[in-house]
Amino acid sequence: MAVTDLRELLRSMAPELHDAPYGFGLIQPKAGAWVPDAFAMMVEDEGVTVVATEAVLQAQGIAHQAGWARISLKVHSDLQAVGLTAAVATALTAQGISANVIAGYHHDHFFVQWARRFDAMQVLAGLADV
């Protein structure tokens, strides 16, 4: 069941750090454009943003900004829940950690600098104790 209460979301977010570095790339839109094994693809005016592991992006020959860690919050957050993204972003910002978020139907996924991934996990652990 999807959770809407912010306190419950923070207590039960269960962050999971994925073990492969990710990157953000850009491809030009064309009919049927698809990158196998991409985590996410978003159509923007400038092209199609591809978020995938660096290995996938390299294998596909996609130029990308490398060096991102993916942290998935395992709590099933309701799409109408208020405050989870803001609470996580604020806590990470206080420690100087950049965060980019992709919200899925069930979970939120934060991308932080690869070098700061363990710091980010500590921040989230502290946030869950609130």
Structure tokens at 29: 């839109």
Tell me which of 46 and 22 has the higher pLDDT. 22
86 in a structural domain: yes
Q: What is the CATH number of the domain that holds 41?
A: 3.30.2130.10
Across the range 7-33, mean pLDDT stands at: 91
87 in a structural domain: yes
Task: Write out the residue range of the structural domain in which residue 52 sits.
Answer: 6-128
In angstroms, what is the C-alpha Rg of the chain?
Answer: 15
Structure tokens at 76: 């099933």
- The residue whose two tokens read 């990158």 is 35
1 in a structural domain: no
What's the pTM value of the predicted model, to 2 decimals?
A: 0.93
Q: What pLDDT, in 10s, does the model give residues 27-76?
A: 988 766 789 999 999 998 899 999 999 999 999 999 999 999 999 999 99
- How many domains is the chain partitioned into structurally? 1
67 in a structural domain: yes
- Write the burial class of residue 86 (CB in 10 Å: 0-12 exposed, 13-18 middle, 19+ buried): exposed
- pLDDT higher than threshold 90 for residue 20: yes
46 in a structural domain: yes
pLDDT at 31: 61
CA distance 54 to 64: 8
Residue 56: other Cβ atoms inside 10 A = 21
